Structure 1
Amino acid sequence: MLSRESRMRRGEEFQAAIKRGKRAGRPTLVVHLVISGDETPRVGFVVSKAVGGAVIRNKVKRRLRHLMRERLERLPRGSLLVVRANPPAASARSEQLAAELDLALDRILRRRESSMDGQR
């Protein structure tokens, strides 16, 4: 489980990450990242009804929360990260979700670093 200070709960935070942040997509999930401030990185999850019924959605969300807890230290301070599950996440194994989450995070963090290099 993610700690309380690492969870995103306010709608404004979700909107900021999705509207102003960088985006990286995979078949089972999409991640949105924006850096604002210098506090502990926070993560939020979006699992819509398109993924499945309530039991399936909660199972996908629990898996993603568990996977993200292990990867939280990779995020820079002040990060707001939204992980949005796509319908194929319902039938994906945990290993596949982990691999796709790693690929999406690698891509979005590389993009952030390259955009920071261009500003220097």
Structure 2
Amino acid sequence: MLPRAHRMTDPGDFRGTIRRGSRAGNRQVVVHCRTDEESTGSLVGFVVPKREIPLATDRNRVKRQLRHLMRARVDALPDGARVVIRVQREARDRTSSELDRSLESALDRAWARWAR
């Protein structure tokens, strides 16, 4: 489970990351990321729309899988990192290993865009 200190809860952080951050995605997830030079801790937020995944049990399962996958990656994020992961409809039927590959590729591309 992703430690509470790394969970994004402030709506302003979500808005700022989505509007001003870089974006990359695939059929399962879309990743928005940026760095906040004024902060030292890394924050990760998840958006799982009801329109994309209608059943609450499926939304919660996908969110739990992604939180677990981000737990291993949060220490590798740069200082002040802000990451929002938006789930697409295709993620509902994917295994954890498939989500892991999708998340890794989207994160790599989003950070590469942010670095430019």
**Which TM-score applies when normalising by structure 2?**
0.94
Cα displacement (A) at 1:111: 2.0
Q: What's the CA shift string for 1:1-56, capped at 9, x where partnerless?
A: 11111000010000001011000011100000011123111000000112231000
Residues 51 and 90 in structure 1, CA contact (< 8 A), matched pair in contact too: yes
2:96 is matched with 94
Cα distance in 2 for residues equivalent to 1:79 and 1:23: 14
2:32 is matched with 32
Cα distance in 2 for residues equivalent to 1:79 and 1:7: 12
The structure that has the greater radius of gyration is 1
Report SS of the residue matched to 1:17.
Answer: helix
Cα displacement (A) at 1:109: 1.7
1:70 is matched with 72
Alignment of 1:78-117 (within 5 A): 78-113=80-115, 115=116
Identity %: 42
In the alignment, residue 89 of structure 1 is paired with which amino acid? A
Cα distance in 1 for residues equivalent to 2:92 and 2:66: 11
Higher relative contact order (CA 8 A, sep 6+): 2
Q: Please list every run of 5 or more consecutive structure 1 residues that lacks an aligned counterpart in the other structure.
A: 116-120
Q: Please list every run of 5 or more consecutive structure 2 residues that lacks an aligned counterpart in the other structure.
A: none
Residues paired across the two proteins, number:
114
